[in-house]
Structure 1
Amino acid sequence: MTSSHRPFGLPSALSAAALLLTVAGCVPWDAGASVAVPSPPAAEAALCQALAKELPDTVAGLERTDPDPGSELTAGWGDGAIVLRCGVPRPEKMSDPKAQGVSANGVNWMLERPEGGGTRFTSVYRRTYVEVSLDERFAHDAGPLAALAEPVSATIPCALESEACS
């Protein structure tokens, strides 16, 4: 995992791993639970479909177990331990200059801790937003973000052609 760029004003000494050490909780989804499928515009949905084809079968040693309802816009590993949703709306918190973020293998992510618990990361500087929710097993491990960064980087281009995503 690299952390060459930290959006949202994070101190340079703060790494993704250190940030994750402070985060604990659980994802509000469990095995068999349903996950809201995003409704992005057609161009963004096409990017998400490309991402779906590149997602790994395992992340952090967990087998892929997609949530219900089945969709190319959602994916999961470990019966809800890791849940990805592609094409989500821009989080309101991205307008907050105090929002925290991390960089994992060249993809920048904004950190949120939803009221229901868990940790949620949303990609930034990309043509569509990719959200990854992690349960308490990953409170000290940025591995899932690092593992998902390559397919995100390969399929979801920078928001502006002249802009660097990381």
Structure 2
Amino acid sequence: MNSFRHRPLSVIGLPALVLLITAAGCSSADGSASAAVPSPGAKTAKLCQNLDEVLPAEVDGAGREDPSPASALTAGWGDPAIILRCGVVRPPKMVDPKVAEGRDADAVAGGVNGVNWLMEHEDDGGYRFTTASRQAYVEVTVPEGRDSSGALIDLASAVKKAIPEGIAD
């Protein structure tokens, strides 16, 4: 007779059940997005806080749903989320001569409503945009299936208002 089959639940099953319930309670079932919070210097952080105050309530038709952890340096809209991170470091492609000359198919420079962006195609089918010629780098990731041009149009006014033209530190 197999004694394993007849052991009480409290010996084998209960600890496993408690572990499963604990793990489920710690996970996010609501599908909320997460984003790494940048760590810029004080001057850039202040510009990013100013941006947070003027960001639109809606981007690409979706309401604002900020990612976790909560920060004035990050914002999000919709599901799948369009994520904005302010105060990021300059992307390496931004100084790549192939991009400036239009010879890099994965990265393209361009402007939308008075804001210049570096556009990078991501492996998952989405796009990452980073502001150029502004005193802080603002990164916007747009997942596959969301309208990247609509997102940039919706965000342009806030970026122009809060992040002055110039060179980021």
Structure 1 length-normalised TM: 0.73
Question: What does the per-residue CA deviation read over 1:51-109, in whole Å, with 9 as the maximum and x for residues that have no partner?
Answer: 00000111111010000000000000003431100000000111112221121100000
Q: Percent sequence identity over matched residues?
A: 52
Q: Which structure dedicates a bigger proportion of its chain to helix?
A: 2
Task: List, as ranges, runs of 4+ consecutive aligned residues in structure 1 with deviation greater than 4 Å.
Answer: none
1:84-99 aligned at under 5 Å gives the runs: 84-99=84-99
Higher relative contact order (CA 8 A, sep 6+): 1
1:155 is aligned to 162
1:143 is aligned to 150
d(CA) in 2 for partners of 1:80, 1:107: 24
1:3 is aligned to none
d(CA) in 2 for partners of 1:150, 1:33: 24
Unaligned segments of structure 2, at least 5 residues: 1-29, 100-107
CA gap of 1:125–1:95, structure 2 versus 1, over 3 A, is same
Q: 1:116 deviation in Å? A: 4.4
**Structure 2 residue matching 1:50: 3-state secondary structure:** helix
Contact 1:48 1:72 in 2 (8 A): yes
Q: Which amino acid aligns with 2:57?
A: D
d(CA) in 2 for partners of 1:83, 1:102: 20
Tell me whether 1:121 sits opposite 2:129 in the alignment: yes
2:9 is aligned to none
Unaligned segments of structure 1, at least 5 residues: 1-29, 161-166
Q: 1:117 deviation in Å? A: 4.0
2:118 is aligned to 110
1:20 is aligned to none
1:134 is aligned to 142
Q: Give the total of aligned pairs.
A: 130
Contact 1:66 1:79 in 2 (8 A): no
Contact 1:81 1:137 in 2 (8 A): no
1:8 is aligned to none
1:62 is aligned to 62
Aligned Cα root-mean-square deviation (Å): 1.6
Contact 2:33 2:81 in 1 (8 A): no
2:46 is aligned to 46
Contact 1:63 1:78 in 2 (8 A): yes
Structure 2 length-normalised TM: 0.72
Contact 1:123 1:129 in 2 (8 A): yes
Q: 1:113 deviation in Å? A: 1.7
